[in-house]
C-alpha cells in the first residue's frame, strides 16, 4: 500500500517538477512597469534617449511589433528603403517636422497609419508626457538629430495643469485641458480630429465635421459629446463606445458651448 502511495506521489511531484523546470528553462521575459520619468528643464538629449530606449525595449512593449517586420514598420533598421526612423521621420508628413510627426504618431495613431500596416495599437493615455517625449528622443536618435528638450515637457505639463497653451502639437493625455475657447484648438487638443474629418481631411471613424450641422441639431451634438455611448450617429453604430465619455468633465461649460456652436454651424 505504502509503495503504491509513494509511486503516485513521485509521479505527481515529478510531473509538477518537470513543468516547473521547462517553464524556468525558456527565456525569462517580465513585464516591467513603465518608470515614472521626471526631467528637469535642462535635461540632456542623452538622458532622454537613454530613458526612451529603456522604455522602447522594456515596459513600452514596442518590440512586440516593431522589429518583426510584419506587424509594424521597422524603426531601428531600414524600412522600405527609406532608412531608419530618425532618417525618415522628417519627410513622412508634409508640414510636420520629425519631432512633431513622432509625437503626433503616438498620441494620434489613427491619423498617421503607414501604408501596408494596420493602425498602431499604442495607447498614449497609458503613458505620461515625459515618457512619450523620451520615446520621441530615442526614435530621433536612430539616424537623426535629437531636438526634444526640457521645454517640450514643461509645455506639455503646463498644458495638462491648465496654466498655459500646450506645445504644438499637443502631447500626452488625450484629454489635456486648457483655457482656450477656440473651437478648432479644442478639437485639436482633445484629439477629436483623430477620428473625425474636417476641411475634407482626416480619418472617417466618426461623423464628418464638415457637414455635421446639417445632420445633427445643436442639442444632439451636445448630447453626443457628453454621453457618446447613449446613441450612435447614423451610420456609426459599430463605433458606439469608442468615443471617451470624459468631455463633460474635462471641458468647461464655455468650451463645450464653443464646440457645439462651431459644429452646429457647419452645414
Partner 1 sequence: MALTPAGLLAQAAEAANQSTVSIPAYGSFPAPGSRVAIWVAAQVHLFFAAFVLGVPMFAVVAEAIGIFGNDSKYDKLAKEFTRLLLVSYSATAIWGAILSFGLITLYPGLWNYLARIFAPSMWVYVGLFFFESFTLYLYYYGWERWHDGRAKLMHWSLGILLNVWGTAVMFIANSWLTFMMSPPAEVVPDTAPEMVRFWSAFANATWMPINVHRMIANVVFGGAIVGAYAAYRFLTSKTDEERAHYDWMGYVGNMIAIGALIILPFAGYYLGREIYEYNQQMGITMMGGFMSWLWIIQAFLIGVLFLAGNYYLWVGMGRIPGAERYMPYTKWMLVVLVLGVIVWATPHTMIANRDELAAMGGTHHPFLGVLGVMSAKNTAVNLMILTTFLSFLLYRRANKRTVVSWARTGTMIQTVIFVLAAAIVLFYGVYGYFVTAIVRIGFSVYQVLAVLAAIGGVVTLDIMIMRGAESYGAIRWGQMPPRSQYALFILAVTFTWLMGLMGFARSGIRQHWHIWEVMRDTSEFAATPPLGYAAQVISWCVVIFLGLVGFIFWVGSLAEKPIMSHRRQDSLPPTDSRLASAPTGN
Residue 171 or 228 having the CB closest to partner 1: 228
Residue 210 or 257 having the CB closest to partner 1: 257
Residue 136 or 256 having the CB closest to partner 1: 256
CB of 221 to partner 1, least distance (A): 11
Rg (alpha carbons) of the chain, rounded to whole number: 24
For residue 38, list its beta bridge partners.
none
CB of 47 to partner 1, least distance (A): 22
Residue 80 or 121 having the CB closest to partner 1: 121
Least Cα distance to 144 among 74, 86, 62 occurs for: 86
CB of 27 to partner 1, least distance (A): 6
Least Cα distance to 248 among 223, 217, 219, 216 occurs for: 223
CB of 265 to partner 1, least distance (A): 18
Say how far apart CA 49 and CA 37 lie, in whole Å: 12
What are the b/e assignments for 225-234, b being 16+ CB within 10 Å?
A: bbebeeebbe
State which H helix or E strand residue 155 sits in.
helix 150-161
Say how far apart CA 230 and CA 242 lie, in whole Å: 12
Residue 123 or 164 having the CB closest to partner 1: 123
Binding site for partner 1 (CB under 8 A): 1, 4-5, 7-8, 11-13, 15-17, 19-20, 22-24, 26-34, 57, 59, 61, 63-65, 67-71, 118, 121-123, 125-126, 219, 222-223, 226-230, 241-246, 248-250, 253, 256
All residues at 6 or more sequence positions from 96 whose CB lies less than 8 Å from its CB, including other chains:
104, 169
CB of 13 to partner 1, least distance (A): 8
Amino acid at each position: 500500500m505504502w509503495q503504491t502511495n509513494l509511486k503516485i506521489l513521485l509521479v505527481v511531484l515529478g510531473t509538477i517538477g518537470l513543468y516547473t523546470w521547462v517553464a524556468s528553462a525558456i527565456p525569462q521575459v517580465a513585464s516591467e512597469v513603465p518608470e515614472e520619468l521626471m526631467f528637469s528643464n535642462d535635461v540632456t538629449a542623452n538622458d532622454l534617449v537613454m530613458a526612451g530606449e529603456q522604455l522602447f525595449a522594456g515596459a513600452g512593449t514596442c518590440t512586440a511589433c516593431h522589429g518583426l517586420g510584419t506587424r509594424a514598420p521597422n524603426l531601428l533598421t531600414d524600412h522600405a528603403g527609406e532608412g531608419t526612423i530618425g532618417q525618415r521621420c522628417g519627410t513622412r508628413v508634409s508640414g510636420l517636422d520629425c519631432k512633431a510627426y513622432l509625437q503626433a504618431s503616438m498620441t494620434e495613431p489613427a491619423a498617421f497609419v503607414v501604408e501596408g500596416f494596420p493602425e498602431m495599437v499604442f495607447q498614449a493615455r497609458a503613458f505620461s508626457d515625459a515618457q512619450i517625449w523620451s520615446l520621441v528622443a530615442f526614435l530621433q536618435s536612430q539616424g537623426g538629430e535629437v531636438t526634444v528638450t526640457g521645454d517640450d515637457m514643461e509645455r506639455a505639463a503646463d498644458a495638462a495643469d491648465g496654466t498655459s497653451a500646450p506645445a504644438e502639437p499637443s502631447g500626452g493625455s488625450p484629454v489635456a485641458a486648457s483655457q482656450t475657447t477656440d473651437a478648432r484648438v479644442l478639437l485639436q487638443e482633445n484629439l477629436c480630429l483623430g477620428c473625425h474629418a474636417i476641411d475634407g481631411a482626416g480619418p472617417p471613424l466618426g461623423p464628418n465635421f464638415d457637414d455635421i450641422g446639417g445632420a445633427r441639431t445643436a442639442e444632439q451634438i451636445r448630447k453626443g459629446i457628453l454621453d457618446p455611448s447613449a446613441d450612435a450617429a447614423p451610420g456609426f453604430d459599430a463605433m458606439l463606445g469608442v468615443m471617451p465619455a470624459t468631455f463633460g468633465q474635462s471641458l468647461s461649460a464655455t468650451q463645450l458651448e464653443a464646440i457645439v456652436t462651431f459644429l452646429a454651424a457647419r452645414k
